[in-house]
Structure 1
């Protein structure tokens, strides 16, 4: 911990802000998927203060997010959501913050949901301008639509070969599904950053700004360019832009005990709360050749 710095305290009000921003992102990305796939089933349902979304078979956007800060859902609302996922042949996956309504975990367990995994949400106060870290030979800049395919190829390649530390992501997805989700997240408001090392595309990252919350939507570095300070440079560039945009808090989601969690805590992020991943019915996602994690950490 930096000298004189107080850890960011997360009360239920802050957790609700963060979860609301997450639900908004999933909803916007889900709607983008529906526009992209007009001939296929999909839905975005407002659900007890959060959102239930199905984008396409096997998508990381198929989930319930933001639940638990507007009271517990009643049986009728749960029935509707479960029927909607069942009609698409999908399990129901709920990401439930531990600061949410405590009755919801028991309610879901009684309905047959099982605890499958955890993920951590970390935050950093943005109360002053942030310095941009520029390692030798590394350039960080915004990435436009004209190079989206190139950006996506580098990020997808990097995500398919992750650093291994801590708990693994509980699900993986075929590359084509991962790439489609990244396109939908971009349509949902995630801005892209590219890292160049000696002029070559070396990695990329995402950032979404909503209601004063800076959501770090993931980052990845190509294996050949790792241990060169690129992740730190991507973090610092997004923090600087978020501060300039007037955000007061930056947030990132990581796997517990991962290198990504270690990296963001090193620069001052604090652990705010944990999400439990609760799943009902269906087989766990299967790993496939060329598979990728859904949302690479920051």
Structure 2
């Protein structure tokens, strides 16, 4: 990280922009799940600038995202959201940025929502040409459809074994559920794929999506046999370079608080922008 680099400051305008593209990502992934399984229950409901999504049973896409910047949801809005999740046998999980309207947190508390966890959103400005850093023996390239299953396998394996460092997630997902969600996001949300090869063998994979000048880093993973060889650094550096060339001015990543992922991102010049509170109401 350059010593003269100023930390990225996040105001409410930038937070609104990030939350808006996050809601778009969740909605597109959920809609893909509905197309894949049209016989199952599911919905995408706009709510106060955000979106309520139910993709399928136990999916990580079952949540309310993007609230806080489009006004306070009405009681009728929340009634509809809660009825929809209850009809699917699911609790309501709301991810609420701490830079959003504080009246929403107060309203949710009054309606019986409980704070269960937090997650951090980190960002890095992309205002100049970014140089790719790839260690000797590591190559990163776009991943084509012919190797989609290999890409999916390595990325899913990483998500299935999250960081042991830091605050543990309040959720656990099976490998099969993770694979379906990653497949849906890659298929419909505009997520671009890249793989890292080490000595000619696929050693890691990553995804990213670009929208409204924001590069969303949607996840990266390295196969256990290839860890601590610079694969993650190469995947991150390449995605940042591609995003800069495409005209993005900021890259963002979401991590668990105090996790190895957060530590690695900050080592690569990312700053903590804001925290999302995770609030849940059970049927």
Gaps of 5+ in 1: 283-298
Normalised TM-score (structure 2): 0.97
The 4+ residue runs of structure 1 with deviation greater than 2 A are: 157-163
**CA distance in structure 2 between the aligned counterparts of 1:162 and 1:126, rounded to whole angstroms:** 27
C-alpha offsets along residues 40-68 of structure 1, whole Å, 9 cap, x if unaligned? 11000111000000000000000000001
Q: Say whether 1:135 aligns with 2:135.
A: yes
1:182-261 correspondence to structure 2 within 5 Å = 182-186=182-186, 187-261=188-262
Which residue is 1:4 aligned to? 4
Q: CA deviation at 1:163?
A: 4.0
Residues matched between the structures, number: 282
SS at the partner of 1:108? Answer: helix
Which residue is 1:38 aligned to? 38
- Does the 8 Å contact 2:141/2:196 carry over to 1? yes
**CA distance in structure 2 between the aligned counterparts of 1:160 and 1:206, rounded to whole angstroms:** 16
**CA distance in structure 2 between the aligned counterparts of 1:208 and 1:278, rounded to whole angstroms:** 26
Q: Say whether 1:272 aligns with 2:273.
A: yes
- Does the 8 Å contact 2:30/2:53 carry over to 1? yes
Q: CA deviation at 1:267?
A: 1.5
**CA distance in structure 1 between the aligned counterparts of 2:208 and 2:160, rounded to whole angstroms:** 20
Gaps of 5+ in 2: none
Deviates more, 1:158-167 or 1:5-14: 158-167
C-alpha offsets along residues 206-228 of structure 1, whole Å, 9 cap, x if unaligned? 10000101000011111111111
SS at the partner of 1:66? Answer: strand
**CA distance in structure 2 between the aligned counterparts of 1:34 and 1:138, rounded to whole angstroms:** 38
The CA RMSD measured in Å over matched residues stands at: 1.0
SS at the partner of 1:27? Answer: helix
Q: 1:272 to 1:147 in 2, by over 3 A?
A: same
**CA distance in structure 1 between the aligned counterparts of 2:121 and 2:60, rounded to whole angstroms:** 17
C-alpha offsets along residues 180-226 of structure 1, whole Å, 9 cap, x if unaligned? 10111112111111111111111111100001010000111111111
- Does the 8 Å contact 1:161/1:223 carry over to 2? no
